[in-house]
Structure 1
């Protein structure tokens, strides 16, 4: 008696290969167009903003030759030998101009004051000493020299120089910092304290900046609870506090966004559709965490697809493999809002934001994304088993100049980000031995 062959199950579809992080970032940035719209803001209020236009200087800085030290302005030809004595004929403070120096004369001068005509050097006051006046009157302190000393004054204070004075010594030349016509700040440059000071030195009370990206942020998940709503002792089974909302909002604000916090959206299709459609109307970008996998309670994916388009990327990085990017069409205005769906695990969400979302937001502002500088530092730990994905391990610098590894690298362990001061970038398939030089990326630089 023959037995019929059993039917075989159809072969499982082959999984798409994971996308490299570099390819994902390139694809992301290639789809971004800088936001339209320019705002004029007071220079005092422009910290953290992005310049919309280059700043070209209409003047020289410094505007005039001035003293770099408190001391005496001299003609260098008069101070070619140690012990030379000159007559002090005037006193020049910052904000005041002096008279021309004649041979044998010097001027008491203070930092920032204009170099008088005829002078070409400054000798600091510590390298001088007062000497008796010509009529043998008691020596007078240099600061008592009047602003103007007329020729009729019989007594003239004299100063002895304890050093020589080459031409140009302690003189800040006009235009040595900025020359007229120099482009000193570039379009797309993020403004910080130094940039604001430079703009002010050019007389700019206002600056043209790119408008801030408007970002809607919400989380999905019936398991999420806001701190303060339920006491820890009363948390129901399966509930967790919504930590992602807090660090994502802070990260968005640090990158210069206007954030609309939409809170927690229930795990229902209708609520998700309504939240997405409402967010798209008034925002440039929608950021969510969680809800973009294929589970029955993950409603973000089908909701975004019905309102626009969505690409689900599996990125070859750890932590942070799942990433969603797309757009949601506006119903009451032209165009669409960009959409980013981040992983639900907090460390995955945190790292994916730094590696992909921050560059996206900078590109929206017309700024060139610059990753933190990788610093070569030795590993004071070992990772004997290589991973198939590119890993970003949380580490901390130690007193010996090396790196310590946080013992638990799970994507749900947020304490690893607080404990660590950065990550090391480990290529796929690479193990780590004690002493290996690794690429360290600092959180402080990344978050600046």
Structure 2
């Protein structure tokens, strides 16, 4: 079913198999219209801040560096001595400066100080000549004036960050380098958004847990494990509600519980048109439907809307719901292309689209125009540095092995048709995404 209504409205629907199924770009835009970023924040120690979302700008309390300092080992002196940059220069060494141990005197004209990387620049000095360019005789050094320019090899106070400047902007997902930066400012904690709460569960009488006996007609529940792992990468508070059998009452009770305890609810299975596919009917009963069915492969039978813990629209607590397909690769593709951007936005993160890399297809690819396809691919660089890619075998939405083998999605645009070997495609590398 597909609906293009405003977030606050109720849905009228058309068949999810309609040729006018919602394009992926339109679905992504609609989902973001429904998203309200979390307002609550908390302060956490730096060691617990990795992958959390900054709730406010971090203003530098100090200059970085805090003082002019040497960028390498050598000799600090007044660069005015270089004059016109030619000739042989001799300087008298009057002392030493180390990181954490500054030279306390002022360096006179014609003199220099032996200095180590990170040591404060002595008063009267603005230039460092590297030690490898110097010849020394006792307390006298000599070097060619043209090997260094005035001001070289010295870091200036506030050069990296000025006191009062924005060190990191609100909405940033903190990386290891950011944690180091915050520590370099003398900060011991960060103000971050509270974790998004995401409840998830699988549906289906045929599902068994890994380790259980597998009866005829049954399969192991892989989707819940994949969803849990993908959520873990996003550093959300994931709430595993297990497996819900094909029973409308049980499904309704679980959906209401999920809406009561989480900001977002993810289900897998039950959103197609089978007689036991109850998720779609419960979503219509418990909440608002935005769209049902995308022009996307895999992942066409995807439902999106809002459910209410009170059992009807407007009653109790609301949560966004993504009804993901039951086939495992379709579940993962739907998560990365539709759910992940929404979760990042709800968590308060700055928009960071996953970059697409141009590549050439190593082989012909069958593609039907009118839908966006995300084929599993194995990308490599050839001897010229050009990215090349080939599908990893079966593109069935149930073939999880080819998803595991892949290192990228081959992104085939909505309007594209069949491709020949050598045609240009875009790839979305898994590194940093999956």
State whether TM-score is above 0.5. Answer: yes
2:280 to 278, 301, 309: 301
Distance change in 2, residues 1:122/1:295 (3 Å): same
Q: Distance in 1 between matches of 2:333 and 2:113?
A: 61
Map of 2:200 onto structure 1: 217
Matched, 1:68 2:71: yes
- Provide the secondary structure at the position in 1 that maps to 2:336: helix
* Residue-by-residue CA offset, 1:368-393 (whole Å, 9 max, x unaligned): 33221111111111125534422112
SS at match of 1:291: coil
Contact 1:394 1:416 in 2 (8 A): yes
Query: Is the CA contact (8 Å cut-off) linking 2:23 and 2:296 kept in structure 1?
Result: yes
Select the residue among 337, 358, 364 that pairs with 1:376: 358
Who is 1:408 aligned against?
394
Residue of 307, 320, 323 corresponding to 1:338: 320
Work out the CA distance in 2 between the residues paired with 1:28 and 1:88: 68
Q: CA distance change for structure 1 residues 348 and 189 in 2, over 3 Å: closer, same or farther?
A: same
Residue 264 of structure 2, aligned match among 285, 297, 309: 285
Instruction: Kindly state the Cα deviation for residue 294 of structure 1 after the two structures are TM-superposed.
Output: 3.0
From 297, 301, 314, the equivalent of 2:293 is 314
Deviations 1:26-62 (A, max 9, x none): 1111011111211111122111011111112232211
SS of the equivalent of 2:22 reads coil
Contact 1:312/1:322, CA 8 A, preserved across alignment: no
Instruction: Answer yes or no: is the 8 Å Cα contact 1:309–1:326 preserved in 2.
Output: yes
What is aligned with 1:237? Answer: 216
Contact 2:260-2:317 at 8 Å conserved across structures: no
Is 1:398 the equivalent of 2:384?
no
Q: TM-score, normalised by structure 1?
A: 0.86
Q: Is the 8 A contact 2:197 2:238 kept in 1?
A: yes
Aligned match of 1:352: 334
Which of 306, 310, 317 is matched with 1:327 structurally?
Answer: 306
How far residue 329 of structure 1 moved from its aligned partner, in angstroms, is: 1.4
Counting only pairs closer than 5 Å after superposition, residues 200-279 of structure 1 correspond to structure 2 as 200-230=183-213, 235-279=214-258
Match of 1:127 in 2: 133
How far 1:398 moved relative to its partner?
3.0
Q: CA deviation at 1:198?
A: 2.0
Distance apart, 1:295 and its partner CA: 2.3
- Structure 2 residue corresponding to 1:56, chosen from 56, 59, 62: 59
For 1:241-294, what per-residue CA distance to the aligned partner results, in whole angstroms no more than 9, with x for missing partners? 111111111111211210111111111122112211222211111111001223
Residue number in structure 1 paired with 2:5: none
The farther-off stretch of 27-36 and 387-396 is: 387-396
Question: CA 1:111 to 1:429, structure 2 compared with 1: closer, same or farther past 3 Å?
Answer: closer
Structure 2 CA distance for partners of 1:169 and 1:368, relative to 1, 3 Å: closer
What is the aligned partner in structure 2 of residue 108 from structure 1? 114
**Separation in structure 2 between the aligned mates of residue 385 and residue 340 of structure 1, nearest angstrom:** 26
**Number of matched pairs:** 408
Q: For 2:281 and 2:293, how far apart are their aligned partners in 1?
A: 17
1:63, 1:77 → 2: CA distance?
A: 24
User: Secondary structure at the residue paired with 2:302?
Assistant: strand
C-alpha separation in 1, matches of 2:111 and 2:301: 77
CA contact (8 A) 2:259 2:317 kept: no
Larger radius of gyration: 1
Pairing partner for 1:190 from 156, 159, 173: 173
Find the aligned partners of 1:96 and 1:394 in 2 and give their Cα distance: 57
2:412–2:425 contact (8 Å) kept in structure 1: yes
Quote the offset at 1:160 in angstroms.
2.4
Map Cα deviations across residues 357-415 of structure 1 (whole Å, 9 max, x no partner): 00110111122332211111111111255344221121112352411222211111111
**Is this contact kept in 2: 1:289–1:341, CA < 8 A?**
yes
Could you tell me which residue of structure 1 aligns to residue 427 of structure 2?
A: 440
Deviation digits for residues 324-350 of structure 1 (CA, Å, limit 9, x no counterpart): 112221349953121111000111110
Check the 8 A contact 1:214/1:260 in 2, yes or no: yes
Partner SS state of residue 89, structure 1: strand
Cα deviation code 1:134-159 (max 9, x no counterpart) = xxxxxxxxxxxxxxxxxxxxxxx222
Q: Distance in 1 between matches of 2:381 and 2:284?
A: 51
Aligned to 1:32: 35
Q: Residue 417 of structure 2 corresponds to which residue in structure 1?
A: 430
SS at match of 1:126: helix
User: Do the aligned partners of residues 396 and 69 (structure 1) sit closer, same or farther apart at CA in structure 2, a change above 3 Å counting?
Assistant: same
